[in-house]
């Protein structure tokens, strides 16, 4: 018999699995970075594929589980909105790269765009963590 507790536990497991997928997607780059430091030239696209599958798939799975558990999102603070904006801007850095690479057929190096991507994403995550700590401190 399916009870509300079993449904909630399944949704909670999906939420945790989504978190794990996000971390696996982010940590996909560790072998790539190690190989680059070792002087190898690994293909960027396989790592990018697993990165996007983990990060996008994990975030969708978390959102689905959050809806299933009935969790409402709290009111966003300005710090949280700024953090999400920086993450979004860090992701949008890749738009000119893909335009130059695939539409304009120009030779372009992904490593030229990576510092801007990481700056936006990591500073946005930093602001989100700061917002989380402020919220915990107020309680």
Domain extent, residue 131, equals 74-139
Alpha carbons within 13 angstroms on the beta-carbon side of residue 134 total 11
Of 44, 73, 102, which residue sits at a domain end?
A: 73
Q: Is 69 found in the same domain as 27?
A: yes
CB neighbour list of residue 73: distance below 8 Å, 6 or more residues apart = 66
Do 80 and 50 share a structural domain?
no
pLDDT reported for residue 44: 81
How far is Cα 138 from Cα 104, in angstroms, rounded to an integer?
Answer: 51
pLDDT at 4 over 60: yes
What is the pLDDT of the chain when averaged over all its residues?
Answer: 88
Residue 88 and residue 58 share a domain: no
Note whether 68 and 2 are same-domain residues. Answer: yes
- HSE (side-chain half, CA atoms, 13 Å) at 1: 2
Distance CA 121, CA 29 (A): 14
Fill in the DSSP letter of residue 110. G
For the stretch 24-81, pLDDT in tens is 998 998 998 899 889 998 888 888 889 989 999 999 999 898 888 888 776 788 999 9
Integer CA distances (angstroms), 11 to 2, 75, 135, in order: 13, 23, 25
Amino acid 42: pLDDT: 86
Among 73, 98, 118, identify where a domain stops: 73
**Residues 69, 91: one domain?**
no
Asked if residue 96 and residue 59 are part of one domain, the reply reads no
How many domains would you assign to the chain? 2
């Amino acid at each position: 018999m399916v009870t509300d507790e079993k449904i909630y536990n399944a949704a909670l497991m999906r939420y945790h699995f989504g978190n794990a997928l996000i971390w696996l997607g982010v940590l996909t780059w560790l072998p790539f970075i190690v190989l680059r430091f070792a002087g190898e030239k690994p293909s960027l696209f396989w790592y990018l594929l697993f990165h996007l599958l983990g990060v996008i798939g994990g975030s969708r799975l978390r959102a689905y589980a959050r809806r299933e558990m009935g969790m409402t999102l709290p009111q966003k603070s300005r710090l949280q909105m700024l953090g999400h904006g920086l993450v979004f801007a860090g992701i949008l850095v890749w738009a000119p790269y893909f335009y130059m690479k695939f539409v304009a057929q120009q030779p372009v190096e992904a490593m030229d765009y990576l510092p801007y991507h990481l700056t936006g994403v990591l500073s946005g995550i930093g602001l989100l963590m700061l917002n989380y700590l402020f919220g915990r401190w107020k309680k």
